[in-house]
Structure 1
């Protein structure tokens, strides 16, 4: 069996909410995306909206958390993932069908606006039941406007070693920290 992979460009139709399984601790989000095709009437020379297709998008774990922190209802979005179908019973006691995209990649559609990316750094593994989530936001641009992720073309930092850290910085960021994105 092969997966049907799709890319949907549209607008977030419902606020993404973060859910957590009490049994497994797994996190997920589910939100709706509407995609309206623009069609041209060649005889009239005018563009108009076609029908809107609605998709339920599901993402898990880190992707779920990042979606909830990054997207809001009304935001333009691009979603790539596996297309599926779910059946459910409505309040009218009829069986309904929904198109579902199990997200592989989700992000703001930068053809419709500007977005800023913030890396998430996994600092250490957190044992089950321990306080904290083991995640920290990476530093953003400094007050001087410098990008902490930029590096000269020769690959060497300001100190000539490739290490961008400030010698007096006790945080250890950049010193063998595991970066996941």
Structure 2
């Protein structure tokens, strides 16, 4: 959305408006957050009602974990928009990380079966932690203390990604 504003020439109009950088960032990310939670709600209902997948854990814990993951991915998207000059570049950067993120998350192939060097790379992948937590909540009824080994690294990656994105965004505004 930020790259599109820049290409359309409307980012400059936003910059001279009385909006703070935080309000501008929130305005660009909140709609995506709402859509993501609607998708999560639909996917969870579909998994439970259609596929009869047992949801052994807490729905609120699932929502909390999803919020942490969402902040990580929104930070990544904002970061992609700060390093891209065009929408095509932003989409390429996003798809590049998305494809490798999925492949290295343990979704298709168990991480234990990957070469040792690749296994180390998966520690930088937020989706790895999210997959573990969702499996834990759905299948084992994991509680917050059970999820801390995955939640803390995810929160650290999310904080670093979002902070770097905000820093680059503000630097770009200035």
TM-score by length of 2: 0.25
Q: Which one has the largest radius of gyration?
A: 1
Relative to its length, the structure with more helix (as a share) is 2
TM-score by length of 1: 0.24
